[in-house]
Amino acid sequence: MFRPMQTPPDAALVLFAHGARDPRWALPLQRLKDELVRRCPALRVEIAFLEMQGPALPPVLEALAQAGLRTIHIAPVFWSLGGHVARDLPQMVEAFHAAHPAVVVRIGTVLADLPGMNDFLAQALLESAGATAPAGP
């Protein structure tokens, strides 16, 4: 059983993803948001997209700033570091920061670089392929 986590009252987490034409693509993000809120009810969690779906990141950041949030963590829900995370996201954050210098925005790491992610995926994929671990000595 988990214990709900505490968070500063002026902090938020934004799940930032690419977006797709098919709205079903965003359903796993909504499930992740719901799980984050379940684990940390005091944390404001939002979803924002780069393109093809809304809301876009700039208006989400603006709404959080207008609501008095002073620390915003952006979790790039991208598998690896590429142009969108390395170039586009920092440019959007810089533009926002120019208008809201008192708001601290932190960009997190991509999914593949999260601690334990490769081990988790390797195990899950091997299990889904029916692979078994060798017997011990």
- If one counts the domains in the chain, the total is 1
4 lies in a domain?
no
Are the CB atoms for 33 and 45 separated by under 8 Å? yes
**Distance, CA of 118 to CA of 26 (rounded, Å):** 23
73 lies in a domain?
yes
Residue 29's closest CA among 3, 60, 8? Answer: 60
The predicted structure's pLDDT at residue 115: 93
pTM: predicted TM-score of the whole model, two decimal places: 0.85
133 lies in a domain?
no
Q: How many CB atoms lie within 10 A of CB 101?
A: 8
The predicted structure's pLDDT at residue 99: 95
CATH number at residue 20: 3.40.50.1400
pLDDT mean across residues, the chain: 88
Determine the structural domain holding residue 29 and report its residue range: 11-128
pLDDT digits (tens, 9 = 90+) for 31-79: 999 999 999 998 999 999 998 898 999 999 999 999 999 999 999 998 9
Which residues touch 113 (CB under 8 Å, ≥6 apart)?
Answer: 80, 81
Q: Which residue bears the tokens 């490769």?
A: 118
The predicted structure's pLDDT at residue 1: 38
